[in-house]
Structure 1
């Protein structure tokens, strides 16, 4: 086994690329988005929740891929998928069906707007 394959890469807890062990697909819960009627309060609640987990940048576009750093690129992809799972868990089934094949949390966020 080479030393590079046994090395552990640590992402600091303050980084938007860090996922806490308790950050599962069901760890974000706000009132479900039903449509235009509750979009504004849903969006605000979701933004607060994402900000508390340092993940708001995934929907605003502040957190971008770093093609020069494979580890960070992989961590970004993992976090993006987690944010997508949180969005999908907090929208109505009809809305979920319309966005679930989009691969970017930022793109989903734009579609929901």
Structure 2
């Protein structure tokens, strides 16, 4: 395991490290090497979504420190803490191996640390922002409902939009007091709604026009609900006929 410049771990004693549920060294009885943390394995093209899913899962397990290098190797190589670190590292490595395709798994099998594997996958599969943003925007422009139900079409749109959102700069300083940030956020969500409405089939043009007349435009979930209601009414009407 490589040394980092991160502050030393607060879990100095071996016993407290493994017994305290708040410690990154704590392992629940269900935390075994065969555990699969994400439903979709990394194949390469889906790096962004898999990375996000894995980070969420590892955060729940309190193991993010083993992939971002924030947990230091104990200076005392004979301490119990080193054993606990090695054990946890190997558990996280196993979880990563279970979350990638067989081909990718073979290429990272002999890496020593979870952080090393994580960085390797990032360097290999993370696309630079420009090409990926271009691809997402192109897919959004070309996305149409066609033979899909409104729910299926919306799910496809939402998947593209949320990944695109992950590239969007966000203000997290907590010091912004003007209305500018709020207005930008509202405009961004209006774009989301417009993208959804634009891809709908022409058979829903009437309800789409009615929604566009509402000022301000309702939130995307409300618009989705209105469109789904119209779709259901049409389905019921055709069944009665």
Question: TM-score, normalised to structure 1's length?
Answer: 0.87
Structure with the higher helix share, 1 or 2? 2
Q: Which of structures 1 and 2 has the larger relative contact order (alpha carbons within 8 angstroms, sep 6+)?
A: 1
Residue of structure 2 aligned with 1:70, choices 79, 82, 85: 79
Gaps of 5+ in 2: 1-13, 123-241
DSSP-derived class of the 2:73 partner: coil
- Per the alignment, residue 116 of structure 2 pairs with 107
- Per the alignment, residue 9 of structure 1 pairs with 15
Post-superposition offset of 1:9: 3.0
Distance in 2 between residues matched to 1:55 and 1:29, nearest whole Å: 12
Post-superposition offset of 1:96: 0.4
Gaps of 5+ in 1: 1-7
DSSP-derived class of the 2:15 partner: coil
Post-superposition offset of 1:25: 1.5
- Per the alignment, residue 220 of structure 2 pairs with none
- Per the alignment, residue 50 of structure 1 pairs with 58
Alignment of 1:20-59 (within 5 A): 20-30=28-38, 31-35=40-44, 37-59=45-67
Mapped contact 1:34–1:92 kept (Cα < 8 A): yes
Mapped contact 2:68–2:115 kept (Cα < 8 A): yes
Q: Please provide the CA RMSD for this pair.
A: 1.5
- Per the alignment, residue 91 of structure 2 pairs with 82
Tell me the number of residue pairs that the alignment of Structure 1 and Structure 2 aligns: 105
Select the structure of larger CA radius of gyration.
Answer: 2
Post-superposition offset of 1:67: 2.1
Mapped contact 2:34–2:98 kept (Cα < 8 A): yes
Alignment of 1:93-104 (within 5 A): 93-104=102-113
Mapped contact 1:17–1:76 kept (Cα < 8 A): yes
- Per the alignment, residue 223 of structure 2 pairs with none
Mapped contact 1:34–1:91 kept (Cα < 8 A): yes
